[in-house]
Amino acid sequence: MPQHETMLDDVAVYALGSLPPQDAQRVRAHLDTCPECREEYEQLRPATDALAYSVEACPDLEHGAVVASPLLKTRIMDRVRREAVVPPRTNIAEMRAVRPIVWPAYAVAAALLIVALITGIINISLSDQVRQKNADLALTQAHSRLLARDLANQRIALADLVAADSQRYGVAHGQVVVHGKRLYLAMDALPPPPKGKVYQAWTLRSGATRMSPSVTFVPDRSGVAVVSVPVDASRIAAVAVSVEPDGGSKQPTSTPTFVLKLS
């Protein structure tokens, strides 16, 4: 095999991030001097980045519902909100109190300068607005995809809840429904939790000794709540629900509303 062809193979392994440090340094130095290898690298690198999407944590029930704990977001956002900056408010009254002083001899020149400045500011402002709108659009698209996914999940949940082959377990104020690997809480006439509290689901993995925290929820006004518990039901030995402080707890702090052992 020609020597340069071997180097192109090394570039591919480097793009994948699988070269030992000393080989990686050699390839990186070569990329600085070889346009052909650099082009190959720039072709392959996005493909390796894309690999990550194949394992994206997936709330789709069809894929086992691998999701991060809601408590993780709570922990992160608690710190972020503590450090966030509240946007300053402009004091209009103070602005109006400051009046510009203009000397007549320079009025025309000053006016032209102001027009030029305003034009420049408008241009900068418009490009900032375009960038901002693009960023907002990207976020809106991401939210749209999440909404579409939620709708798909709701359709799956509805089908599971009415399926003849679903297993149903009676519990206080409702049922636990299991269909394949998916698990739902179908609560009815569930009293509203006290102020500042929510209901929280707990799951016990087969072989585990401690309950793991799961989703929090509140029933609607008629006491109904249909909750998809993000867990592989085939690996769960028990499920429980308790009343917890808003935001959820790491371990139960109240007597569970129910504890159900799954057969």
Residues that bind other proteins in the complex, under the rule CB under 8 A: 1, 6, 8-13, 15-21, 24-25, 28, 42-59, 66-69, 72-73, 75-77, 79-81, 83-85, 87, 131-132, 135, 139, 142-143, 145-146
- CB of 216: closest distance to other proteins in angstroms? 17
The nearest distance, CB 189 to other proteins, in angstroms, is 33
Residue number, 68 or 172, with CB nearest to other proteins: 68
Q: Select 83 or 165, whichever has its Cβ closest to other proteins.
A: 83
* Distance from C-alpha of 3 to C-alpha of 90, rounded to nearest angstrom: 66
Q: Minimum distance between the CB of residue 113 and other proteins, rounded to whole angstroms?
A: 29
Cβ atoms of residues 153 and 63 within 8 Å? no
138/163 with CB nearer other proteins: 138
| Shortest distance, position 97 Cβ to other proteins, whole Å | 28
Name which of 25 and 251 has its Cβ closer to other proteins: 25
Contacts of residue 183, defined as CB under 8 A and 6 or more positions apart, other chains included, come to: 176, 177, 228, 229, 231, 233, 236, 239
Closest CA to 225 of 184, 187, 176: 187
